[in-house]
Structure 1
């Protein structure tokens, strides 16, 4: 270990120890980090310039885009592979004949839907669409629905980098590659990984691979959370010599490929793969990813209970051979033991249903379920969750600060 590496290690260890004394149980020892899910969709149309700008003003830690490919092979930012939910395409008569049924049955992606598809539109055509706020939430503002259009991935990077300069604070990027199986089939390449390679090329060209640290080696730089939120820098503050980034996907083969090609941390997303919630499953994740992002139900009921109540099938002998299902508490501890940070999704605006399974079943194996967003977030903070995928970051910041204040007054 070099002298400077040793100094860095000692600083991080010291910083983590100071914060750990306050009671945070995260792997890095500091407060859970806030990831802006699609920017700030509680107030602005998701994945819009306004959504990203709002999330920056709310002083979150990472700003998330979902990445797809246009018909002409340009990386664009939109949550779904289809356009009907989040754009005004249904109101544009020139595209009426583009609506079609599409089916895909892959290892990690299953689609069977009739809609307008992003890969049927060139970038120029996508730029004629407006991004709109979902209409099913009457408390979300609808008056920005003519203000924003579909962004390219590079326009998203321009926005985040501009926010970092204007607000004088660092924001991490955390792009999710949507359905790589689909896009690698539609736009084939010699190695079958054209979608992933396009993203990596952009990130390398724009400097995201230079001095890129692992997630737990990127502390806030201050022991005061309120100073961090208010951007009050310590006297000895030094601007980082890297652009903080991570890359995520539900496709575990994509995650493994990315891990073999870059030092940017990889986030393994999962919705309902039972084998991943066993000791051997965590061992495998740790071999290519240091951040695991499960659906949040497994933090409020043991994974086996969640899969049983969700009618997710699994092979009992296979699970037993992998060490058996972990309990929720052991799941967090075992992930941290392997150097894996946890980044569950999604923690919604308090005006929404939290969509937790524990609130829908009267099962004796479920001993507790949060009644509100404060209980929900304080529970995951207690567990030591390292990141939260957030909507309505104003609330998330207030709750994170409140929890930190309570910890400070306990010690």
Structure 2
């Protein structure tokens, strides 16, 4: 019985190939989005979580924030992202935090875009002014040459360490060690080249230029503050207590009374991972809602097309009923056609979604971002189930209309 309904449905759909194709477009787009969201969402979350975890659970981040912004709300942006300059966080805040028992190390950083000029080329790169301890905490390494020292940082030494990509672009086929580059109006001596670090937090670290923190602040940017600094703690069990000690210290140093007046945020790695999970989760929900809207629009399209099909095939329905077809048989046939359309659209959407994910993985690999090709089995099952449900939900009303037609009146229909 079911096979006969399928044969009749396939025959009817083949007779109107263009209409069937147009009907499935909304379904295809919706299903594709479901697969892409599940797959790339999972991969992105895994990348960010792994990169955060690489700092270690014993790491605390102190960053500026706009006073009055919620302390831990995932929806609250940092002051930098809001375009607000909060100039109250200093390197001295970090140095005082080093005096807290259990704090073992840390580094502060500032970042900005600057044009770097060599005798061979000049381009704009992201520069990062960091404490000398950055090289140890960030688990980075110098491929050749050396990193700058704490004394060079304090003395405003004009030295620079190039990312591997920067070195290759500014000094093609030339050893850059000992050479000079110009940043602004000043010349800086190249003392090292970093190993290839790839992409971290969607930033190509091979295109980064590293300078001493104080040199960058005073000679290039003309500032005396930092947007953030990291602290490392002796062991994971001490993190929460030291976080509270850091908050108390900065409240005192910044003369802050009341949590809503704070111009800084202190975050542990566990909290950062939870916040990132919340952000990616909210983004996934938003995209799934958009995919759902696309599916609803596609479903309405299916329903409208099925109504048109019922109208066009009124005489056919009357003839079938006249030779003995029951209303149930007519209903089942039209319902089968509706489900078949949404199922085909669902399968095409799944295949297209997997193709988009695969292409995204390939393109990401070309720019240095390693993304896992994740096949979301749960998402595929959900998509197939949604396709069947959509076919039934949006096909039942036109099918009922077809089943309820009077055979005599249908045969008279022109």
In the superposition, the TM-score normalised over structure 2's length comes to 0.24
**When you count strand as a share of all residues, which structure comes out higher?**
2
Higher relative contact order (CA 8 A, sep 6+): 2
Decide which structure has the larger Cα Rg and report it: 2
